[in-house]
Amino acid sequence: MLDIAIIGAGPAGLSAAINGVIRNKKVIVFGRDPKSSYLYKAEKVDNYLGLPNISGPEMIHQFIKHAQDLGVEFHEGRVLEVFPMGDYYTLNAENEFFEARTVIIATGVPKAKYIPGEKELLGKGVSYCGTCDGPLYRGKTTIVIGEIEEAEEDVNFLREICSKVYFLPTYKEVKYVPSDVEIIRGKPKEIFGDPFVSGIKIDDRELKVDGVFLIKETIPVTQLIKGLEMDGKTIKVNRQQETNFPGVFAAGDCTGKPFQVTKAVGEGAVAALEAVSYLHKLESKNK
């Protein structure tokens, strides 16, 4: 059982991680590669105290190295869902399951937009993970809509079990997709079907499909933990970075403006220290 599970390996998540480890807690950071942090896109950062004139990629690599040097453990991949289990949480990290007493959400700017029909048909033909839900679509027709290169792994898996796989990449360079997968370009307009997915509209074209796999950069936080209270598009937190779920904290861009490294690092530290004191209270309650 982990003490603290941190979702996101940007400045907020890494700051939370080093503070958790320094307080002797068992911590894992779940995250995609460093390039997925917004900080990686910054050509130059000049407003972070003590590290003037540094590039975003250099800064994130220094943060990661600091965390690694302190012994922070990392688990690569997206967390798809967090399930409340009483006084702990279960995390589904692309079909690997972890248990943690506390969770810190540090997933960055909420950028996931929904395709019409996506929310309504989630779990009824719409999935966020091909390798997890693929076996339900054996012999059927599916489409993978990939925002990130990892989608190609889902495509390669699905083509082995489905009768037909379409692939709609929304990024530029497709690396490896076999020729029996039909690559299409266009804008997904609507996923439809009642009560299960029966098709998808892409621009003016309709495709008959049984399953739609949306391989997104970020899972919408409201899907990550069902019932998470929001303040508009961002996660509602108090000054202790607490959410409406006991033991679940949020930090960084996902809690709102200003979108700045200093704020992300500060909130990450507060979230970790509050998680530590929550753990201590839980321990004395269970004695």
Ligand X SMILES: Cc1cc2nc3c(=O)[nH]c(=O)nc-3n(C[C@H](O)[C@H](O)[C@H](O)COP(=O)(O)OP(=O)(O)OC[C@H]3O[C@@H](n4cnc5c(N)ncnc54)[C@H](O)[C@@H]3O)c2cc1C
Which residues contact ligand X (rule: CB under 6 A)?
Answer: 7-13, 30-32, 36-39, 41-42, 45, 47-48, 78-79, 106-108, 218-219, 252-253, 259-262, 264
Closer CB to ligand X, 168 or 261, in the complex: 261
As a whole number of angstroms, the distance between CA 234 and CA 257 comes to: 9
As a whole number of angstroms, the distance between CA 84 and CA 90 comes to: 7
Q: How far is the CB of 165 from ligand X (least distance, A)?
A: 24
CA distances from 251 to 1, 6, 53, 131, 257 (A): 22, 10, 25, 29, 11
Closer CB to ligand X, 163 or 238, in the complex: 238
Terminal CA-CA length for the chain:
17
Closer CB to ligand X, 142 or 218, in the complex: 218
Q: How far is the CB of 189 from ligand X (least distance, A)?
A: 25
As a whole number of angstroms, the distance between CA 184 and CA 220 comes to: 25
Q: How far is the CB of 112 from ligand X (least distance, A)?
A: 9
Q: How far is the CB of 128 from ligand X (least distance, A)?
A: 9
As a whole number of angstroms, the distance between CA 182 and CA 164 comes to: 8
Q: How far is the CB of 75 from ligand X (least distance, A)?
A: 9
Q: How far is the CB of 268 from ligand X (least distance, A)?
A: 7
Two structure tokens written together for 187: 């804008």
Which residue's structure tokens are 């804008």?
187
Closer CB to ligand X, 104 or 181, in the complex: 104
Closer CB to ligand X, 122 or 200, in the complex: 122
As a whole number of angstroms, the distance between CA 13 and CA 150 comes to: 21
Give backbone dihedrals phi and psi of 90, rounded to 5 degrees, phi first. -110, 130
Closer CB to ligand X, 103 or 261, in the complex: 261
